[in-house]
Structure 1
């Protein structure tokens, strides 16, 4: 059983993090996840030594990771990212994967599985971090937001599939066969989700939204549990099941109870972002090997190296394969947003360390580089976008009127 003080410290850090975001927001916009991980490091063994995760806390953190990937799957609107934009985003990610594994193979000294871990981590995009920024600026529904959604969706989905294929410990052909079987069942579930739901589903959803029944929320949790269990049965990583559950949930809610879908999601997000997800990030900070990073010059030097590799591996293919109707400044902003990576880097490196495919020092270097990417790259991209907008005559006139 967990020591009650550890859980109290973790939740105290989770509460303190948004307060710090608010306090520093007037000077610099620091993503919430940075404070959550940083506070975890502070209360963890390498600094104050107050918090030491055990089996119960680790289980809750695993649920937090599943909820994070579930919500990432829910965010993706596949209907908005079809056609040429989706094809370009797929090719950009495949090029990134090939380049990432190739470069990681050199860094790892020829260790194939370590190269798979590092290379896959380098190709991810923190869509859950980028989309709120675009939503707040009113750009999510515009052309740039649609393109970013496509490239970000592939940057979320691609690494999850790659983890299932490359890091399962099986032969690639066997993993591909199991993944295909999982895909067939998931496709059947998608077909079921797209069918009209009986009227009682919407009525019961609305009737229990503000009661102890909470039918829709329980249904969503059942769907998540089923997809996690299905992935487990197929021997695939649970991240794939969580992602698929998020996609299915969006389809079901928008078809069955469109009037209540946003409120149901709000309740699920409250459970995720209010408890499980911050717990996962704080525990990530607690387990972060700061000692190895500080006292190992090689690991410390790898942080800027990995950050540069993220920009090269992920950013350059995105820039080159971005839709031609975007001007060069928007393409640079797109590349920077797409190179922003943290949640999946944490997840993939955690898997790598747990399977003894990656050293804790290298994992710390990768996570450190990803934290810098979240802190710096979106700010630069936002500045580029604001510069582009101010360059237009209409926007310049609006700015003049505002002043």
Structure 2
């Protein structure tokens, strides 16, 4: 995003955003949410985990409305709904690699985080689609209902014909064509085309497509196609989305109004309050205080959905360019700080090993073991 702002119209003006880059960015956004959809685990959203996740998200929504009202009243933000909704998001796609990289996690920490973060990805995406639909109702509402119906039908067909999809996987996935991967990418390109024609929400479309791929694929094949799509997305398509988004940010507004810079850390703290406080209070019996603090920091990590909301809301005239830039900058700050702080907090909650308790280092290769 910084690179996009630097080379874009408000930086060195080396390139401007035209139809080609707009479509490339749309493909990258769809890929971003497709990868996030692959990470959604419906089996974790049942019973008590689902109740806790819903309670936490609705509590976040209530706090978000209060914070957004304050921002509209005292900080000059224009759209209460968009600001409040942006505060309730969680970057599930960013958190999953972070969880895999951590060497120590308390029991049930990952499952709890995935359940609450999934609601922070799915619920705001659906509600944002409804907000955009309200701007062009009834045409947009008809499109949204049709898209939902097709998605449900697709899920039923995928589950019914899963054996055929598995057979296709077995015969083609390890060959040079990698047909299943191409089919998924082709479906995403089709969504980009439909977005140009009928204005479907690519964030919601990407999530649904990722969920369809996950539900229609056995675990062993899911890992294979997930690795290929993740590599394609993280190395190529998703960075293009962030670069083009950076080119569209109103960075001059921040440079010309130093008071806006103070809103960036303030908004980041508001995101921590809105997404972190509910899980901190709700899970006091399930996790230790340090683990709850780390979970609050992780759950408040935001960026992809905030960027998507800011870009689409600005294009629809629902958000001013300075407001969109401040929201995105605050979300970027949460990605830079909160996961790293959560990792440090969890390390402090890690049980000490025998070597650490005795103050001795474990013997190296070929060294005799000394009795304690």
Q: Normalized against structure 1, the TM-score is what?
A: 0.80
> In structure 2, what is the equivalent of residue 186 of structure 1?
151
Q: Hey, what's the Cα distance between the residues in 1 that align with 2:8 and 2:285?
A: 48
Aligned partners of 2:128 and 2:309 also within 8 Å: yes
> In structure 1, what is the equivalent of residue 206 of structure 2?
242
Deviations 1:377-402 (A, max 9, x none): 11111111110014x56695599555
How far did 1:329 drift? 1.2
> Could you tell me which of 332, 336, 339 is aligned with 1:378?
339
Aligned partners of 2:9 and 2:15 also within 8 Å: yes
How far did 1:193 drift? 2.4
Aligned partners of 1:117 and 1:167 also within 8 Å: no
Q: Hey, what's the Cα distance between the residues in 1 that align with 2:137 and 2:267?
A: 27
> In structure 1, what is the equivalent of residue 294 of structure 2?
333
Q: How many residues align?
A: 362
Q: 1:229 to 1:38 in 2, by over 3 A?
A: closer
Q: Hey, what's the Cα distance between the residues in 1 that align with 2:215 and 2:349?
A: 35
Residue range with higher mean Cα deviation, 272-281 or 340-349: 272-281
> Do structure 1's residue 271 and structure 2's residue 236 form an aligned pair?
no
Q: Hey, what's the Cα distance between the residues in 2 that align with 1:323 and 1:79?
A: 23
How far did 1:149 drift? 0.6
Larger Rg: 2
> In structure 2, what is the equivalent of residue 115 of structure 1?
80
> In structure 2, what is the equivalent of residue 290 of structure 1?
251
How far did 1:250 drift? 0.6
1:210-225 superposed matches below 5 A: 210-224=174-188
Residue range with higher mean Cα deviation, 228-237 or 109-118: 228-237
Q: Hey, what's the Cα distance between the residues in 1 that align with 2:321 and 2:100?
A: 36
**Gap regions ≥5 residues in structure 1:** 1-36
How far did 1:313 drift? 1.4
Residue range with higher mean Cα deviation, 175-184 or 283-292: 175-184
Aligned partners of 1:127 and 1:153 also within 8 Å: yes
> In structure 2, what is the equivalent of residue 6 of structure 1?
none
Residue range with higher mean Cα deviation, 44-53 or 101-110: 101-110
Q: 1:296 to 1:103 in 2, by over 3 A?
A: same
> Could you tell me which of 266, 277, 289 is aligned with 1:316?
277
Q: Hey, what's the Cα distance between the residues in 2 that align with 1:196 and 1:81?
A: 24
Q: 1:303 to 1:319 in 2, by over 3 A?
A: same
Deviations 1:32-81 (A, max 9, x none): xxxxx222222223333323222101110011001101110111112134
Aligned partners of 1:113 and 1:167 also within 8 Å: no
> Do structure 1's residue 144 and structure 2's residue 109 form an aligned pair?
yes
Q: 1:179 to 1:286 in 2, by over 3 A?
A: closer
**Which SS does the other structure have where 1:51 is aligned?**
coil
1:93-132 superposed matches below 5 A: 93-109=57-73, 114-132=79-97
**Which SS does the other structure have where 1:49 is aligned?**
coil
C-alpha RMSD of matched pairs (Å): 3.1
Q: 1:234 to 1:336 in 2, by over 3 A?
A: same
> Do structure 1's residue 345 and structure 2's residue 306 form an aligned pair?
yes
How far did 1:163 drift? 0.4
Aligned partners of 2:355 and 2:361 also within 8 Å: no
> In structure 1, what is the equivalent of residue 324 of structure 2?
363
